Amino acid sequence: MTQERKDALVAMIQKLRPRISQQRDGNDRPNEQDTKQIFVNPLLGALGWEIEDLDEVRNEYKYRPQDNPVDYALFILRTPCLFVEAKALKSSLKDRKWISQTIGYAATAEHRLAQHAHQIVTTVPARAPIDQG
């Protein structure tokens, strides 16, 4: 990562911190779609992803037609390399349902990494068993 990209990322995080606090403390907390629009998209952009380029970022991506969609699939050389699942700001990322959901996307597509919108969940080997409990 270049120094310019690092600086842009730091600047975006500094911009998002007060926005997160304001939204978290308010009565009208953003839903999942709002969270993607006001937090995830700017962060992905600061990380260097071209969110308007379908060769790099797909929304509501299904690896196979029968799969449930993941909020974001990030592509390198037209191959999905990272899945990002966003949740409403009020959602707890400790909820096993969300963790299993994200890991399920990665296991289904046989990829090795799944990431929640605002924290890394885990690195999993391909075809890892998913805890349903």
Domain boundaries, the chain: 3-123
Give every CB contact of residue 86 below 8 A, 6+ residues apart in sequence. 32, 35, 36, 40, 71, 72, 116, 117
Tell the CATH topology of 3-123.
tt1808, chain A (3.90.1570)
Burial class (CB in 10 A: 0-12, 13-18, 19+), 127: exposed
With bands split at pLDDT 50, 70 and 90, how would you rate the model's confidence at 110?
Answer: low
pLDDT reported for residue 54: 95
pLDDT exceeds 90 at position 49: yes
* Lowest-pLDDT range of 38-47, 66-75, 100-109: 100-109
Place of tokens 């605002």: 118
pLDDT reported for residue 109: 67
- The rounded Cα 86 to chain-centroid distance in angstroms is 5
With bands split at pLDDT 50, 70 and 90, how would you rate the model's confidence at 20?
Answer: confident
In the chain, the DSSP E strands lie at 57-61, 70-76, 79-85, 113-116, 119-123
With bands split at pLDDT 50, 70 and 90, how would you rate the model's confidence at 132?
Answer: very low
With bands split at pLDDT 50, 70 and 90, how would you rate the model's confidence at 97?
Answer: confident
> In degrees, to the nearest 5, what angle opens at C-alpha 59 toward C-alphas 63 and 99?
70
How much is the pTM?
0.72
Question: Pairing between strand 57-61 and 70-76?
Answer: antiparallel
Give every CB contact of residue 67 below 8 A, 6+ residues apart in sequence. 105, 108, 109
The rounded mean pLDDT for the chain is 77
Question: Pairing between strand 113-116 and 79-85?
Answer: parallel
